Structure 1
Amino acid sequence: MGSSAAVRELQRDLENKANDLSKIQKDISKNHQVRKKYTIQLGENELVLKELDLLSEDANVFKLIGPVLVKQDLAEANANVRKRIEKRLDSTLQDLEEKQNSKKDSVLKLQQKIQSIQAGKAKA
Structure 2
Amino acid sequence: MAEVEKKLESLSLAFSKHQQQMNDLVQSRSQLETQFQENKIVKEEFSSLDSNSKIYKLTGPVLLPQDFSEAQLNVDKRIEFINNEIDRVEEKIASEEKEAEKIRNEIVAMKLQAGQ
Q: What's the TM-score once normalised by structure 1's chain length? A: 0.74
- How many Å separate the matches in 2 of 1:61 and 1:18? 54
Number of positions where the alignment pairs a residue of Structure 1 with one of Structure 2 = 113
TM-score (norm 2): 0.78
Residue 35 (structure 2) aligns with = 41
Q: Helix, strand or coil: the match of 1:62?
A: strand
Q: 2:96 and 2:48 mapped to 1: Cα distance?
A: 45
Amino acid at match of 1:47: I
Once the 2 structures are TM-superposed, how far is the Cα of residue 76 of structure 1 from its aligned partner? 1.3
Contact residue 17 and residue 103 of structure 1 kept, 8 A: no
2:66 alignment counterpart: 72
The answer to whether the 8 Å contact 1:14/1:111 transfers is no
Residue deviations 1:14-56, cap 9 Å, x none?
Answer: 2222212212211221222222222222222111111112222
Contact 1:63-1:70 within 8 A present in 2 as well: yes
* Superposition RMSD in Å: 2.2
Which stretches in structure 1 are left out of the alignment for 5+ residues?
120-124
Are the structure 2 counterparts of residues 103 and 14 from structure 1 closer, same or farther at C-alpha, using a change threshold of 3 Å? farther
Q: Distance in 2 between matches of 1:108 and 1:31?
A: 22
Aligned to 2:40, the other structure's residue is in SS state helix
**What stretches of structure 2 of length at least 5 have no aligned partner?**
none
Match of 1:122 in 2: none
The answer (yes or no) to whether the contact 1:42–1:85 under 8 Å persists in 2 is yes
Runs of 4+ with >6 A deviation: none
In the alignment, which residue of structure 2 is the partner of 1:55? 49
